[in-house]
Structure formats: C-alpha cells, structure tokens
Amino acid sequence: MIPVIIGMTIVVFLLLHLSPGDPVDLIAGPRATPETIENIKINLGLDKPLIVQYFKFLINLFKGDLGTSILQQRPVTTIIKEALPVTIELGLASIIVSFFIALPLGIMAAVHRNTWKDYASMSGALVAMSLPTFWLGLMLIYFFAYKYRWFPVSGYGTWKHLVLPLIAISLTGIAINARMIRSSMLEVIRQDYIRTARSKGLPEKVVIRGHALKNALIPVVTMLGLRIGWIIGGSVITEIIFARPGVGRLMVNAIYARDYPVVQGAMVVLTASIIIGNMIADILYLILDPRIKY
C-alpha cells in the first residue's frame, strides 16, 4: 500500500514537472528579461535538480503545504479546502442513492430471474450504463431546468442544486451496481446453505434477507471502494456542466490557466480520497466476511 502511494506521488509530480509547457513564461509575461525569468525560477525553486524538487514537494505534502496558486496568489491548500465540501457532498450523495436504488433492483432481478422483471430491469441497466454522463447532464438541464423550471440550471447551495447533478452522475452507478448485485445474488442463491435454509422451512423472505443478502453484499462493498474512484472522475465533468465549485472543476480551470500548483494539489487530494475510499472498502470487507480472521 505504501509503495503504491509513494509511486502515485511520483507520477503526479512528474506529470506536471515534465510537461512541455513552461509556467515560468506565463508568470513572467512576454516582455520579461532573462534575469526576471531566472529570478522567478529561483523563487519557485525550479532551478534545482528534479530529485531535490520532488523531495521538497513530498516534505511540503507532509506539512500540508500544497504550494501557492499562480493565478490567485493564495495557498493551494486553502483553495482546495473551499472546494472539497462541494465534491464530497455530490460524491457521498451519489454513493448512498445508488446503493439504495440498486439494491432492491438487483435483488428483484436475481430473485425473479429470467422473468420479464429481470429482463426489463437488466436491459434498462445496460442502456443506462451506456449513456454518457455529460450528455445526460446537458439533457437534464435542458428539460428540467429550462423547459420545466423545476430545478436551477447550475450552482451550489440548496438541495435543489443537488438533484440534477445527482441523477446525471448516479444513473450509471445504479446500473452497474444493480447488475453486480444481481450476479452476486445469483451466485449465492446457488449455494448449499441456502438450500439448507429453505429445506428447514424458512419463509423465502427470511432466506433472502437473512442469509443470501449478507453474503451477496460482500463483493458489492468491495466495489464501493472502486466506485469512489469512478465517482471522483465523473464528478469532474458534472461539476463543470452544473458549475458546481468543486475540486474537479477547480482542477480543469487550473489546467486551462496553466496554474500548475493547483492542478498538482487537486490531483493529490483527489488521489488521496480514492486511496482512503479503497482502505474503507477493505476494512468493511474484513468486517463483513466472517471467513476472514485477522
């Protein structure tokens, strides 16, 4: 785990320090003299060898210092702290909503396997999975924010601002989760202990809820960890379409503006949240699976 994290910081660092574009020129402007450029380089520490720069970056990381934004002349950490709650709000809401919609859908499809309920919901899921998030976002805005003024077009603040982005980003997740839950349940239902439970005379509902479900959820929970990564990636586009001032939008705007410290800081934060998400999923897995003893 630790080497992977270190590897990730190296990748993030290299991506932005080996880039062909030169941020120094941007700061210096077109009429700068060679001396000015040298000074800026020394100020930003860009004149030292790459390894030294990397270790400075790492040390600052531990201190919580992500550098200073070239554009806004403010500490990157502050800027990101302002944007983070917005992203987390959407991400968390998406995970919760997807789970609570996908669960009954997947169970129903598994229990009523090969009936119209199964085919209809799984076909629907397949189609929903194919719709690109940004297209969905735009269509939702056109119909529900413009044609019918039920929701605001963009922005951040009230629960109403959350609905459309939530639908856009969660639809795919619901589809994928529903399919996963269905196949997981199908595997579990075939097991011998389910047969035993049924032959004991337990009502079907109890068999499903008490025995099958708990075990079927184990791989789904592991998926949750991976989902966090996906949601964070998807939230970048969603934040831009709905003009939500989150970390993803911050990062892309920084890319347009060549504000490299912000891009780097945003990458670090987003990557860190994914690592944390995966760790939580691992821990949940340990707790939920009684076969694994620590």
Residues linked to residue 68 through DSSP beta bridges, in sequence order: 75
Q: Least distance in Å: CB of 175 to another protein?
A: 10
Structure tokens at 103: 């669960």
- Identify the residue among 32, 58, 88, 186 touching another protein (CB under 8 A): 186
Between 129 and 280, name the residue whose CB sits nearer to another protein. 129
Based on the shown chain and the rule CB under 8 A, indicate whether residue 270 belongs to the binding site for another protein: yes
Based on the shown chain and the rule CB under 8 A, indicate whether residue 40 belongs to the binding site for another protein: no
Range 181-184 contact pairs with CB under 8 angstroms and sequence separation of 24 or more: 181/102, 181/103, 181/105, 181/106, 181/107, 181/110, 181/216, 181/217, 181/220, 182/106, 182/107, 182/109, 182/110, 182/118, 182/122, 183/110, 184/106, 184/216, 184/217, 184/218, 184/219, 184/220
The answer to whether the Cα torsion of 48, 50, 53, 55 is positive or negative is negative
Based on the shown chain and the rule CB under 8 A, indicate whether residue 12 belongs to the binding site for another protein: yes
Between 125 and 207, name the residue whose CB sits nearer to another protein. 125
- Identify the residue among 59, 92, 127, 283 touching another protein (CB under 8 A): 127
Mask 214-243, x = binds another protein (CB under 8 A)? ---------------xx-xxx-xx--xx--
Based on the shown chain and the rule CB under 8 A, indicate whether residue 146 belongs to the binding site for another protein: yes
Distance CA 258, CA 19 (A): 11
Of the listed pieces 2-10, 54-62, 71-79, 211-219, which binds another protein according to CB under 8 A?
Answer: 2-10
- Distances 201 to 188, 207, 213, 254 between C-alpha atoms, Å: 18, 10, 18, 63
- Identify the residue among 65, 213, 271, 288 touching another protein (CB under 8 A): 271
Based on the shown chain and the rule CB under 8 A, indicate whether residue 267 belongs to the binding site for another protein: yes
Of the listed pieces 27-35, 51-59, 94-102, 269-277, which binds another protein according to CB under 8 A?
Answer: 269-277
Mask 154-183, x = binds another protein (CB under 8 A)? -----------------------------x
> Which 46-105 residues touch another protein, going by CB under 8 A?
none
Phi, psi of 119 (to 5 degrees): -60, -45
Of the listed pieces 29-37, 41-49, 134-142, 205-213, which binds another protein according to CB under 8 A?
Answer: 134-142
Alpha helices in the chain, H assignment, sequence order: 2-17, 23-28, 34-44, 50-63, 76-111, 116-130, 133-140, 160-189, 192-199, 204-206, 213-241, 247-256, 260-288
Residues that bind another protein (CB under 8 A): 3-4, 7-8, 10-12, 15-16, 18-21, 113-114, 126-127, 129-132, 134-136, 138-139, 141-142, 146, 183, 186, 229-230, 232-234, 236-237, 240-241, 251-252, 255-256, 263, 267, 270-271, 274-275, 278
